[in-house]
């Protein structure tokens, strides 16, 4: 069988893999099984300041609703280097913005699929930007299971990868969903969380999560939680760092776009905090152009820097 004679699904997976995506899966679109849990999570107030999660929530209950007429999704992962050393900035945010990188690549895949079918195919790329319960969609496409730390875990890659999806107006044969729960009795992620953000396995109170507090939260970090932030200036990888699946399967950084930018590379927490504290409205955009860290805004990063420096002073007894 020649490549042109292979099923379209096989060719799509091969093309996506050649573009650097791994894992890759295909699933049909339809009602979300986790919509009740999502609704209860919102009702419990665990979303904090992330009011956007509640807007248009009804579209999250059925993956056919965000873009009318679509029937299938190609769901992909893009690794961001779980073997990179821990530091004051979470690994995913040290380089260029994954939204830009993955969206451009998924649009390229979309164009390729249209060329392969010989006619324009309606579709849309989503990378953490639409009303979609991405982790369930990825699980349905066979990419992994949702771990106790709420991250999607792949049995060959761990969890240090982004999720993206290309919704298509095509009937594609679905991959088998990933039904197994391979966390077993392990609770390392729950036990290691510095702020006790996990209400239960797979249930996170985002208002206690360091990633939320240092990125999404717009006001002062609650005083009681500030010492628990430690040296985390932007984001947190603790619940991934301790996961046995990452210990075994996390990968070296292979995507150049995600390599640490000059503004954060090689910086310890105190040095980086001082440098951010000294930034202004001119130096900040220059240092963090196309960076995910711009989401916290300069005011948020300065707030985080003050907390990190305060924690360093408390632990050493010396002013920073």
Q: Let me know if 128 is a catalytic residue.
A: yes
C-alpha pair distances (Å), 257 with each of 94, 146, 164, 233, 290: 9, 27, 16, 21, 10
Phi first, then psi: what are they for 76, rounded to 5°? Answer: -130, 160
C-alpha pair distances (Å), 244 with each of 34, 160, 189: 26, 13, 9
Using DSSP, how many helices (H) and how many strands (E) does the chain show? Answer: 12, 8
Fill in the DSSP letter of residue 200: E
Residue 276 corresponds to which tokens in the numbers above?
A: 């951010």
- Both ends of the chain: CA-CA distance in Å? 67
Instruction: Report angle CA 13, 17, 18 to the nearest 5 degrees.
Output: 120
Catalytic residue among 62, 128, 169, 241: 128
Task: Mention every residue, 6+ apart, whose C-beta is less than 8 A from residue 22.
Answer: 76, 77, 78, 79, 157, 161
Residues carrying an active site annotation = 128
């Amino acid at each position: 069988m020649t490549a042109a004679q292979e099923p379209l699904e096989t060719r799509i997976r091969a093309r996506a893999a050649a573009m650097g995506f791994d894992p890759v899966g295909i699933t049909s679109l339809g009602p979300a099984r986790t919509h009740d849990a999502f609704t209860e999570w919102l009702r419990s107030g665990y979303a904090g300041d992330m009011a956007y999660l509640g807007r248009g929530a009804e579209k999250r209950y059925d993956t056919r609703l965000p873009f009318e007429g679509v029937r299938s999704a190609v769901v992909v992962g893009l690794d961001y280097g779980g073997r990179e050393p821990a530091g004051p900035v979470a690994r995913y945010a040290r380089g260029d913005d994954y939204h830009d990188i993955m969206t451009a690549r998924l649009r390229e895949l979309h164009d390729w699929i249209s060329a392969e079918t010989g006619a324009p195919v309606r579709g849309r790329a989503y990378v953490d930007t639409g009303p979609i319960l991405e982790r369930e969609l990825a699980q349905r496409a066979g990419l992994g299971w949702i771990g106790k730390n709420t991250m999607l875990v792949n049995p060959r890659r761990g969890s240090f990868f982004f999720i993206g999806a290309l919704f298509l107006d095509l009937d594609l044969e679905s991959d088998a969903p990933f039904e197994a729960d391979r966390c077993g009795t392990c609770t390392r992620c729950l036990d290691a969380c510095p702020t006790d953000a996990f209400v239960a396995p797979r249930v996170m109170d985002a208002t206690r999560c360091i990633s939320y507090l240092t990125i999404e939260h717009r006001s002062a970090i609650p005083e009681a939680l500030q010492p628990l932030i430690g040296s985390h200036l932007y984001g947190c990888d603790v619940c991934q760092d301790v996961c046995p699946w990452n210990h075994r399967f996390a990968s070296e950084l292979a995507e150049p776009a995600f390599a640490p930018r000059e503004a954060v590379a090689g910086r310890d927490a105190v040095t980086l905090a001082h440098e951010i504290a000294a930034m202004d409205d001119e130096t900040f955009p220059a240092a963090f152009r196309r960076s995910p860290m711009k989401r916290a805004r300069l005011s948020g990063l300065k707030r985080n820097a003050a907390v990190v420096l305060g924690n360093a002073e408390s632990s050493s007894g010396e002013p920073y």
